[in-house]
Structure 1
């Protein structure tokens, strides 16, 4: 049996453990259906259909040639579609399920001068979530199936309001672009090879998230990669998060540690603060990983947002990334980005634009700098 079949069969089996309780509840009461937006309540179970479309236009100058890609999916927050359910099991416990697929044809993580259209095919790696969870306010949440490891999102603390186009994963705007050497050849890999925010991943895993203790939540997970071939490693991680308001200030932070069977270890985290009265925010992220060689990075982002227009908040940000030994030992990478986002609250729409410069340094080779300019919109439903 393949890993994918095991994923589907095991997750479905765990889900059926709670179905008798749901069926008994449904049989004992009159069937009721209510609709609120894209949510429907059937008996004691809420079904929520959701998703987002995030499309734009990308222009990339690799130091020798400039190309434009349209339409292109924004890998900062790719298009997706999903279905969530929540069932009240009684005694303070609920069961949840989540099925979510990425819909990212011609993504910024794929397109480049040699492949202007990316990969439009759908395969099993587009399964973002296929999981079941059981939780209570008192005891926390247990999750099983394809989904986020404990450290997924640990470097994403951010109050700037521009996360749809700018964040610690600075390569997301143009990750698939090829890096040229000074002679014009493509010897430097892709942009994404030079920039790593050392965030967690989604895998087939068992995960536990504690209850909230005065703003603190602790998590741990164990998982395997079942959607891609050739990876038989075991993955482990633990994380701690803290989020709380202090009067005029909001604070968010997280720290995570991950390791696998190849003796690769990753320590990463982030923190962000917002001054509500002025709309000013500051976010920082950093990480260190060890495998064939150790690599490190640091990231800082300043944000400003105001409600100048009735339609919704306008947000700006300026950020800077610096990495060491990410591409290979002796290599350096730097990036500066400027972003703006206009929200249209009634339409659940964000219109955004950004410009980012990528600089590549290497002890053994010289590479040309790159510049990405992107504009687009994200619509959530």
Structure 2
């Protein structure tokens, strides 16, 4: 009995120490739990603050953006065959025109672009451009030769576009664009198959301007840029523009039509050497030889016909109204007393998308000129087989104060585009153009063409092929027909 009591006392002796250890562990656990609760509470406070900031941003008045209608966005997207996924971002309606200038359009939903570093954190800078190279095989009626050129119906170029929305509804814009057409198709000819380095190594400034664009009041630009009439001969949303364009003669405009039975193979545009002006036959032959190797002394394709696209690009001021029900009015005043006004439209129905433009332009100086340009295009939309059939037409004419001839150009084109493969849109086109009285009264130039293009969207490219048959009439000359076979690749970035 006594032994049992001793054992019971011995067994009970350590219990107070054990209880103390357990209490200490419990206190430590409680401290850890309290610390975790404090961290959780801190996280909740931080999340509440973030949610409050997000709600404040969402509730803040955003710039009142009135995006282009779906039809206008499509018109801008397809104006030069540029796929929407390859365009830059601008949050205002198309500023220089409803169509024709692909980076003046809204970005598709879900598309993001990288931001370049700038010296001003309020400015978004976009760098973009294209390289367009082609192989031209030309049969001029006397020989057939191959030329590698920069296709100047969409020349190689790059641009910097700066945008700022610091003034909320008003967006500030700044634009540089440079062209670098190495062996340009307007320079290469039978006499100069490789253009001199002095030309090839020279940048051509296309655009240098600043502007303000407001959804309510329109947009204003100052600097070298598009005159209001520029693009009004080129309204084309068919999607097949690189191989068959309203200005298709840009693609081989430097080539020289050949003539039979003349002292030279080509048609002089300047007075050739006169035998009576030289003392000897040797001197005359030397002068004639010098004359015969300079391509600028002879008529080229571009001189005999082009699309008369208004006043092109000049140092000017320009104003564009907002887009009203698809219509936009523009006016500009440039250097050398040149002025123009233009009206553009883009819209859609249940069965088609369409775009059109018209302009009047003038050089008011002594010995100047006046002109009008107009063009239009549509693409059928349906779930039937005719979905993707398109057309484009163009007319332009001009008259000179001091010359009798009145150059006139006509163009008509039929197209068919469809996404046969996942790589991008496929397009076919047939075209007819006629150019009258460009060099002098009675000159005539007819162009018949077929074109094919294949977009490869994942690499931002368009492969194309075209054939044009060209017939020339120049009073006093027996001019040969010219055939152009063109294959090229344009990469946009």
Range into which the TM-score falls when normalised by the shorter chain: 0.7 to 0.9
Looking at CA atoms only, which structure, 1 or 2, has the larger radius of gyration? 2
Corresponding residue to 2:186 among 109, 119, 125: 109
Residues 159, 303 of structure 1: 8 Å contact kept: no
- What number of residue pairs does the alignment pair up? 338
Please say which of residues 335-344 and 113-122 is displaced more in the overlay: 113-122
Residues 250, 306 of structure 2: 8 Å contact kept: no
Provide the TM-score with structure 2 as the length reference: 0.66
Corresponding residue to 2:314 among 203, 206, 218: 203
Distance (whole Å) between structure 2 residues aligned to residue 76 and residue 352 of structure 1: 13
Distance (whole Å) between structure 2 residues aligned to residue 325 and residue 270 of structure 1: 20
- 2:333 matched to which residue of 1? 222
Deviation at 1:172, TM superposition (A): 1.3
Corresponding residue to 1:187 among 250, 267, 280: 267
RMSD of the alignment, in Å?
Answer: 1.7
Distance (whole Å) between structure 1 residues aligned to residue 347 and residue 439 of structure 2: 36
Query: Residues 48 and 352 of structure 1: is their aligned pair in 2 closer, same or farther, counting only changes over 3 Å?
Result: same
Deviation at 1:40, TM superposition (A): 5.4
Deviation at 1:295, TM superposition (A): 2.0
Counterpart secondary structure, 2:249: helix
- 1:341 matched to which residue of 2? 453
Counterpart secondary structure, 2:478: coil
- 1:73 matched to which residue of 2? 150
Residues 85, 98 of structure 1: 8 Å contact kept: yes
- 1:308 matched to which residue of 2? 420
Corresponding residue to 1:284 among 390, 393, 402: 393
Residues 180, 202 of structure 2: 8 Å contact kept: no
After TM superposition, the structure 1 = structure 2 runs for residues 313-324 of structure 1, keeping only pairs within 5 Å, are: 313-324=425-436
- 1:148 matched to which residue of 2? 226
Corresponding residue to 2:464 among 346, 352, 361: 352
Deviation at 1:320, TM superposition (A): 0.2
- 1:100 matched to which residue of 2? 177
Query: Residues 139 and 303 of structure 1: is their aligned pair in 2 closer, same or farther, counting only changes over 3 Å?
Result: same
Corresponding residue to 1:234 among 337, 345, 366: 337
Deviations 1:112-162 (A, max 9, x none): 111011244368770011110111011111001111111111111112222
In the alignment, does 2:366 pair up with 1:252? no
Counterpart secondary structure, 1:294: coil
Corresponding residue to 1:90 among 167, 171, 174: 167
Counterpart secondary structure, 1:171: helix
Deviation at 1:364, TM superposition (A): 2.7
Provide the TM-score with structure 1 as the length reference: 0.85
Counterpart secondary structure, 2:302: helix
Comparing both structures, which one devotes a greater share of its residues to strand?
1
- 1:213 matched to which residue of 2? 324
Deviations 1:306-331 (A, max 9, x none): 11011011000000011211121111
Q: List gaps (5 residues or longer) in structure 2.
A: 1-111, 269-298
Counterpart secondary structure, 1:283: strand
Structure 1 stretches (4+) deviating beyond 4 angstroms? 38-42, 122-125
Comparing both structures, which one devotes a greater share of its residues to helix?
2
- 2:246 matched to which residue of 1? 168
Residues 210, 218 of structure 1: 8 Å contact kept: yes
After TM superposition, the structure 1 = structure 2 runs for residues 5-20 of structure 1, keeping only pairs within 5 Å, are: none
Query: Residues 162 and 40 of structure 1: is their aligned pair in 2 closer, same or farther, counting only changes over 3 Å?
Result: farther
In the alignment, does 2:237 pair up with 1:159? yes
Residues 259, 478 of structure 2: 8 Å contact kept: yes
Deviation at 1:47, TM superposition (A): 0.4
Deviation at 1:191, TM superposition (A): 0.5
Residues 105, 119 of structure 1: 8 Å contact kept: no
Counterpart secondary structure, 1:192: helix
Residues 140, 483 of structure 2: 8 Å contact kept: yes
Distance (whole Å) between structure 1 residues aligned to residue 229 and residue 142 of structure 2: 38
Residues 305, 436 of structure 2: 8 Å contact kept: no
Residues 128, 202 of structure 1: 8 Å contact kept: yes
Distance (whole Å) between structure 1 residues aligned to residue 349 and residue 178 of structure 2: 37
Corresponding residue to 2:195 among 118, 121, 128: 118
